[in-house]
């Protein structure tokens, strides 16, 4: 990973996301791009279907009601302060040396992340609050649906470190495979890696034992925790995560759209909206 993208506003969850992003970037030798997104006057007409209805109006209303016209200035100040705290110089031109970069974009989260997410190795956003959190929720779904790259979702609180102990939710799918590949830089540096499966592995795709063998080629030692089919997948994943004292969950997300049939059934929705674990998702 060489480029980490973080949507930035002057909000507490963005401070946590930035601190975690710079901590990870220093560990990986990566740069951090802070991106402030300002709504276009016609932003509601520019939103694609994935962010329609309540999400569409909620983002602009919440933004207009909570942010002054100089919101970009306060967001940039937050970014500069945190970059300095992590000894990251702010640059304007790409460099092989890790650095911080500031951008301001006009449009909607879907539109901006669809343009900028595919040219970043990781997008970092915060998990919304269970009640409210319309801005965080909008950015989370915009990143999952449009980044085309891994998305790291953090709790709305300070996280000490990410990737020291990792749990992989494995279901033989291409989405899970892409998530593992995307997480390899973190997996190779982890102190502990656990693979969790739910039920018999009868799908077309590698079994957990084959995944473990593959990871050995990368110098990653992993253990496998298998759960019976009659145990809810969500509960199995969370139990494996807690038992292994993990600080990161790696899993595939929706196969096509969160409004259509999903690879994990309701597991993706549960992990996004009801769990509070630090998670790395990849949406195919």
User: What is the band of 263 on the pLDDT scale with cuts at 50, 70, 90?
Assistant: very low
Interatomic CA distance for residues 78 and 19, integer angstroms: 11
Q: What's phi and psi for 235, nearest 5 deg?
A: -65, -40
Which of the 8 DSSP states describes residue 151? Answer: E
Percentage, residues of the chain above pLDDT 90: 33
Which of the 8 DSSP states describes residue 86? Answer: T
- Across the range 197-204, mean pLDDT stands at 83
User: What is the band of 53 on the pLDDT scale with cuts at 50, 70, 90?
Assistant: very low
**Is the pLDDT assigned to residue 52 strictly greater than 80?**
no
Q: What's phi and psi for 104, nearest 5 deg?
A: -125, 130
Please tell me whether residues 16 and 137 are part of one structural domain: yes
Please tell me whether residues 61 and 117 are part of one structural domain: yes
* Domain limit, last residue, from 127, 154, 181: 154
pLDDT at 253: 75
- Identify whether 252 is part of a domain: yes
Interatomic CA distance for residues 68 and 70, integer angstroms: 5
Q: pTM here?
A: 0.82
Please tell me whether residues 196 and 177 are part of one structural domain: yes
pLDDT at 49: 38
For residues 160, 247, 184, 279, the Cα torsion angle rounded to the nearest 10 degrees is -100
Give me the chain's average pLDDT, please. 80
Token look-up 């969500």 returns 234
User: What is the band of 132 on the pLDDT scale with cuts at 50, 70, 90?
Assistant: low
pLDDT at 149: 86
Q: Identify the residue with better confidence: 44 or 72.
A: 72
Q: Identify the residue with better confidence: 135 or 255.
A: 135
Number of domains in the chain: 2
pLDDT at 100: 95
Looking up residue 117, the CATH number of its domain turns out to be 3.40.50.620
User: What is the band of 230 on the pLDDT scale with cuts at 50, 70, 90?
Assistant: low
User: What is the band of 133 on the pLDDT scale with cuts at 50, 70, 90?
Assistant: low
Please tell me whether residues 101 and 9 are part of one structural domain: yes
Contact 116, 35 (CB under 8 A): yes
Please tell me whether residues 121 and 67 are part of one structural domain: yes
Please tell me whether residues 107 and 210 are part of one structural domain: no
- The secondary structure of 220-255 as a DSSP string is --EEEEEE-TTS-HHHHHHHHHHHTT-SEEEEE--S
User: What is the band of 241 on the pLDDT scale with cuts at 50, 70, 90?
Assistant: confident
Weakest mean pLDDT among 58-67, 70-79, 208-217: 58-67
Please tell me whether residues 71 and 173 are part of one structural domain: no
Question: Strands 100-106 and 122-126: what pairing?
Answer: unpaired
Q: Which residues contact 189 (CB under 8 A, 6 or more apart)?
A: 27, 28, 163
- Across the range 45-60, mean pLDDT stands at 45
pLDDT at 72: 76
Q: Which residues contact 38 (CB under 8 A, 6 or more apart)?
A: 71, 72, 104, 105, 106, 107
Task: Residue 203: give the domain boundaries.
Answer: 165-278
Please tell me whether residues 183 and 99 are part of one structural domain: no
Q: Identify the residue with better confidence: 107 or 121.
A: 121
Q: Which helix (H) or strand (E) holds 37?
A: strand 31-38
Please tell me whether residues 13 and 71 are part of one structural domain: yes
| Model confidence pLDDT, tens digit, residues 137-186 | 778 878 887 788 899 988 877 777 788 999 999 988 888 899 999 999 99
- Identify whether 283 is part of a domain: no
- Identify whether 159 is part of a domain: no
Burial of 166 (0-12, 13-18, 19+ CB in 10 A): buried
- The secondary structure of 156-201 as a DSSP string is SS--S-SSSEEEEE--S-HHHHHHHHHHHHHHTT-SEEEEEEES--
Please tell me whether residues 137 and 72 are part of one structural domain: yes
pLDDT at 155: 81
- Identify whether 185 is part of a domain: yes
pLDDT at 261: 40
Please tell me whether residues 120 and 42 are part of one structural domain: yes
Burial 150-161 (b: 16+ CB within 10 A, else e): bbbbbbbeeeee
* Domain limit, last residue, from 154, 175, 193: 154
Interatomic CA distance for residues 120 and 65, integer angstroms: 30
User: What is the band of 38 on the pLDDT scale with cuts at 50, 70, 90?
Assistant: confident
Q: What's phi and psi for 139, nearest 5 deg?
A: -65, -35
Please tell me whether residues 18 and 146 are part of one structural domain: yes
Contact 86, 28 (CB under 8 A): no
Interatomic CA distance for residues 140 and 125, integer angstroms: 6
* Domain limit, last residue, from 154, 175, 190: 154
């Amino acid at each position: 990973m060489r480029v980490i993208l973080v949507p930035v506003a002057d909000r507490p969850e963005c401070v946590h996301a930035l601190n975690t992003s710079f901590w990870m970037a220093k560990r990986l030798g990566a740069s951090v791009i802070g991106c402030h997104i300002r709504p276009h006057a016609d932003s509601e007409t520019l939103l694609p279907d994935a962010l329609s209805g309540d999400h569409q109006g909620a983002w602009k209303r919440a933004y207009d009601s909570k942010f002054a016209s100089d919101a970009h200035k306060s967001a940039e100040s937050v970014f500069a302060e945190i970059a300095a705290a992590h000894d990251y110089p702010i640059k304007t031109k790409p460099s092989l040396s890790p650095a911080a970069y500031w951008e301001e974009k006009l449009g909607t989260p879907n539109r901006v992340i669809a343009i900028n997410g595919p040219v970043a190795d990781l997008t970092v956003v915060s998990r919304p609050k269970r009640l409210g959190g319309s801005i965080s929720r909008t950015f989370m779904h915009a990143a999952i649906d449009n980044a085309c790259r891994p998305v790291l979702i953090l709790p709305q609180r300070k996280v000490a470190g990410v990737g020291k102990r990792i749990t992989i939710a494995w279901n033989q799918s291409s989405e899970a495979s892409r998530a593992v590949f995307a997480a390899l830089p973190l997996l190779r540096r982890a102190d502990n890696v656990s693979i969790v499966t739910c039920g018999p592995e009868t799908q077309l795709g590698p079994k957990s034992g084959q995944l473990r063998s593959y990871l050995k080629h990368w110098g990653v030692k992993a253990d496998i925790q298998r759960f019976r089919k009659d145990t809810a997948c969500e509960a199995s994943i969370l139990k494996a995560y807690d038992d292994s004292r993990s600080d990161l969950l790696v899993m595939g997300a929706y196969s096509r759209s969160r409004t259509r049939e999903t690879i994990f059934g309701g597991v993706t929705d549960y992990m996004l909206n009801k769990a509070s674990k630090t998670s790395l998702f990849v949406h195919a």
